[in-house]
Amino acid sequence: MKITKEEIEHVAHLARLELDAEAIERFAGQIGAILAYVDKLKQVDTEGIAPTSHAISLTNAFREDEVHVHLEPEQSLANAPEKEDGTFLVPRIIK
C-alpha cells in the first residue's frame, strides 16, 4: 500500500507536527515500507492458530501467598528514633 505526501501532511496536521518537505518525503518512504510489510503479513495463512498476547510463553513468577507471624507493634517500634501513640514519628515535610 502506497501512502501519499498529502496523507502524511494530513496526519502531521492532526498530530500538530510541523514537518519540512524532506521529513515528509522520508516518512512517506518509511511508512510505505511498513505498510508493504503489513500487506505481506496479511498473506500468511493463520487459519487454526489461536491469537496470543506474547510471542513466547510466559508463566507467573510470583510465589504463593503464605501466612506469616507479624511483628508486634512494640517490636516494630523498638528501634524507631521517635515514636508516639504506637506509630512512627517522622519530620513534617509539608507546611
b/e for 76-89, b at 16 or more Cβ within 10 A? ebeeeeeeeeeeee
The pLDDT assigned to 80 comes to 92
Q: Domain range holding 15?
A: 5-42
47 assigned to some structural domain? no
Check residue 62 and give its pLDDT: 86
12 has pLDDT over 80:
yes
Averaged pLDDT for residues 67-86: 91
69 found inside a domain: no
pLDDT digits (tens, 9 = 90+) for 19-63: 999 999 999 999 999 999 999 988 988 888 888 888 888 787 788
The count of structural domains within the chain is: 1
Angle between helices 21-42 and 5-14 (to 10 degrees): 100
Helix (H), strand (E) at residue 82:
none
Sign of the CA dihedral with 83 first, then 88, 89, and 90 last: positive
Q: How confident is the model at residue 95 (pLDDT cuts 50, 70, 90)?
A: confident
For the record, the C-alpha cell of 44 comes out as 500468511
Is 74 part of a structural domain of the chain?
no
